Amino acid sequence: MGLSAVVYKSASALEKEFPGYHFRCEPTSGECEVIYPDGARIPQDTVTACERRFGNISHIGVLRETIFGYLGKGSALERLVLYSGSHAGDVIKGASFDDLEGELRLIESSPEAGVREFADELLALISMARLEQNPIVFV
C-alpha cells in the first residue's frame, strides 16, 4: 500500500490520438472510456497522461512530518495530499493547484532529496492536469 496519483487524458486528446473513436469521461476523475465504435477497447495506460508514485505508507508519514517542519500544520499539501499514506479515489481539482504550487515552490529547494523529488513529481502532475483540464486522482 502507498500513495500514487494519475492525471487522465482528456477526451479531445484521446480523440486526436484515436481518430474515429468517441469517448465518455467520468465527471469526477476525468477518466475516459470508448463509447464508439462498439466493443472497441484501448489499453488502460493509454488513457493516462501522467502517473506518479509518491511512496509507501511509512514514507508518506515521514514526508508529512518533514514538510510539516517547513510549512506548519494545516498546509494545502497536508490537507489535500499527505493526510494519509493511502487515499485512493480522492481528487484534487484545479481550484487547489495554485495553493499547492505555492507550497511546492517553498519546499522544492529543500536539502532533503525526498522532499525535492516529491515536489517535482507533484508539480509534474499539476502541469499535466492543467494541460488536460482534468483533476489529479489518487489511485
Q: Per residue in 58-103, pLDDT tens?
A: 999 999 999 999 999 999 999 999 999 999 999 999 999 999 999 9
* Residue 42 CB burial class (10 angstroms; 0-12, 13-18, ≥19): middle
pTM of the complete model beyond 0.85: yes
State how beta strands 91-92 and 136-138 pair. antiparallel
Residue 1, pLDDT score:
84
In a domain, 72, yes or no: yes
In a domain, 131, yes or no: yes
In a domain, 18, yes or no: no
Residue 22, pLDDT score:
97
In a domain, 129, yes or no: yes
Q: What is the DSSP letter of 135?
A: -
In a domain, 33, yes or no: no
In a domain, 17, yes or no: no
Total structural domains within the chain:
1
pLDDT in tens, 98-113: 999 999 999 999 999 9
For the beta carbon of residue 106, count every other beta carbon within 10 angstroms: 15
Q: What is the DSSP letter of 10?
A: P
In a domain, 103, yes or no: yes
- Strands in 48-56's sheet, in edge-to-edge order, are 48-56, 2-8, 136-138, 91-92
**Range of the structural domain that residue 72 is part of:** 2-7+49-138
In a domain, 27, yes or no: no
| C-alpha dist (Å) from residue 114 to 90, 92, 117 | 23, 22, 5
Of all residues in the chain, the percent with pLDDT exceeding 70 is: 100
